[in-house]
Amino acid sequence: MIVGCITILLFLMSIFSKKNKALYIVLFIWMWFLMAFTTGIADEQEVYMSRYASPELWAGNSEILYNAIILLFRKAGCTFYQYKAIITFFQLLLIFTTVWKLSKYPNIVCCLYMIYPFPLNIAQMRHALATAIFVFAIRYLFVDDKVLIKINKFKLLRSDFKYICLILIAACIHSASLIWLVLLVAKKFDLKTNIVFTAFFNFLIVFLLSPQNIMKILEVFGAGSRMEAYFSAEYQSSSWRHYGGALLNVTFTAALLIFLCFYILNKKSGYVNKSQVMLAMKANISILCIYGLIIKYTGEVYRLQESMTIMNLIILFNALKSDLFSASRVSQSYALVFAGVFLFILGAAYISIGMYLIPTILKPILQNNILINYIFY
């Protein structure tokens, strides 16, 4: 009850604040409390505590950098919860500093992130760490700087190289992060090329690329054995949860975000930073290359689209020309964009959390926080 009340209060205060640093810090601390000290959440004991206590049991199923981080904390004598507290602080620091740097409305962006996909990030420790690195990396998608390599009309910029390096680091924590490299296609090429690329990539995955080829790629990052789990009888028996739900979430999210971008791009006035909006539109098309992976292998890759939520929120709110809070009356156009963003956040949260995961994710967050329970009970 206490967790829910404080979260709602901070949400209401943040949603009506443009860029309040004190409130932003309070929001950071509260979200760290939730991320670091929630216990009994999905996958905690059987996956993450097991990985930490017995990393040798996960050989071939954990990426090389993630294993190295665990071994470093174990060598330092840290308990699992000490490790979790430090890692989650680092994750949120990467996210919050990036949002503050890039967004005109950082308080709004982070309080919407708190609704979705933050509850999932609390449970998905390894993916959440990779996501934090990806969020930090998006700053390099937004800039054009010094050319490093030029081949005909193609230019590889210094910012592109930095983005690639960070995504490779993220892939050494969660190998699926490699897919975020397709956002460079969104940055470098026009809309038509992105559509063709996405269609071809899905065709390649579904019809031409074998599981053995995928396994070889995963082996480079230390996770080659994971393919066996995706073809297990237990995994296949929960096909709707892993495939149908993922396809529904990906399709709903992409359709709504692409519509919002299209709407903004076609308005003659009232919006700025349209080059970023076009980047978001192309990025939300390019990330649909995960369709083939969902259909053939695992619905879990929907998380790669989920991780783009913060980028989409930053870009959509940055596109507003007028100050959302200084205008005497919010225009009908702005109201539609704001309603669309809320529909996206609430709809995606319902599909990915509300339909399946209230007992295993939402209830532990609200009830099983060791720090909050110690302070208030």
- Interval 305-351: pLDDT, tens: 999 999 999 999 999 887 766 655 567 888 899 999 999 999 999 99
Q: Residue count of the chain, please give it.
A: 377
> What is the arithmetic mean of pLDDT over 281-308?
93
**CA atoms of 243 and 296, how far apart (whole Å):** 9
- Interval 71-106: pLDDT, tens: 999 999 999 999 999 999 999 999 999 999 999 999
Q: What pLDDT is stored for residue 235 in this prediction? A: 53
**Beta strand pairing status for 154-157 and 147-151?**
antiparallel
Q: What pLDDT is stored for residue 242 in this prediction? A: 60
Domain ranges within the chain, ordered by starting residue: 2-376
- Interval 173-200: pLDDT, tens: 999 999 999 999 999 999 999 999 999 9
Q: What pLDDT is stored for residue 230 in this prediction? A: 58
pLDDT-based confidence at 255, cuts 50/70/90? very high
**DSSP per-residue letters across 65-123:** HHHHHHHHHHHTT--HHHHHHHHHHHHHHHHHHHHHHH-S-HHHHHHHHHHTTHHHHHH
Could you tell me if 283 and 186 are in contact, meaning their C-beta atoms sit under 8 angstroms apart?
yes
